[in-house]
Structure 1
Amino acid sequence: MKTKQNIDAKLIKAYKAGDNNALAILVKRWHKLFCDKAHWLVKDKDVAKDIAQDSWSIIIKKIDSLNDPKQFKYWAYRIIVNKSTDWLRLQSKNQKESFNHDIEFLNTEKVYSENEHLKHKLSKAIDSLPNGQKVVIKLFYIELYSLKEIGDLLGISVGTAKSRLFYAREKLKTILNYKDYEN
């Protein structure tokens, strides 16, 4: 039985040997997953599609530098995550304004169920974290990646992933406790 990694490795080798059809198959296998991963990070479908497309350009240019074709998934996901993080970094200038607007929205008379309210507060608290911590906390708690997988995906050590997760939790505790006193 062929594993996905072995199939990817054969397609990459075929593409490197000049078979453009192999690249088309590789794109067909991974493009939707790349769009989904980018969307999960940036929360905008159109931006996610652009990030996936830009990432494919980088993947095609740098595929010769991929030493182990079986690691394509992690290598390509790292490119997707980096492009998404770059986009988020550019958007962070607007984040303060958006955050202030969201606080005003929370203070309106609109009634939320307690669960919806808590979900909204947690989501906004996570969104207010620095990008590195935000990505790690989402990968760990939402995508259920292990610290080692997060390290591989982001190109950081397991210790750095663990540290970012710790500090993200600490900041969330502070943010959520502070907001509880405000409300």
Structure 2
Amino acid sequence: MIFEQTGIEGSYIVDLKQIGDSRGFFARAYCSKEFKEHGITANILQANLSFSKIKGTIRGMHFQTSPFEEMKAVRCIRGSFFDVVLDLRIDSPTYLKWYGIELSQENHKMLIIPEGCAHGFQTLMDDTEAFYLVSKEYSPAHDSGYRWNDNSFGINWPLPVTEISEKDRNWTDYKE
């Protein structure tokens, strides 16, 4: 695997190191040893799948509060989406900064969302699927988020919004 630091402390783009031949390729999609070498020490406790039917759908900006803060490793397995990590860690040098990247079934990249950061994405194609490895089990009592278009963050979403849940539309604005 090839790890590239994003502009967010502790967040990486993980690219596959492909071993290919006429059949296609083989690559490791996850390796706890290599993750630990890059400071990603969270254990994977859950795997999630998200399917969005319509291009322009937004999901986010989600996070879980303490003690259920979670690390996510997110990959697109069908279609494509613009994936965003937002740093909410007050003591972080990248506090309130965001980073976005296109993840697609073609580029096979993975984005690491560190604990204490929010996550969201916008689909760039119809019928898009995201697959997540997550370090904590979902806790409804610790589920939280901020509005996808909160001016405090200034996230530049690539498309007009076509679909968004009532819950995501009604998250509160960020206040320091």
Report the TM-score, using the length of structure 1 for normalisation: 0.29
Higher helix share: 1
Higher strand share: 2
Larger Rg: 1
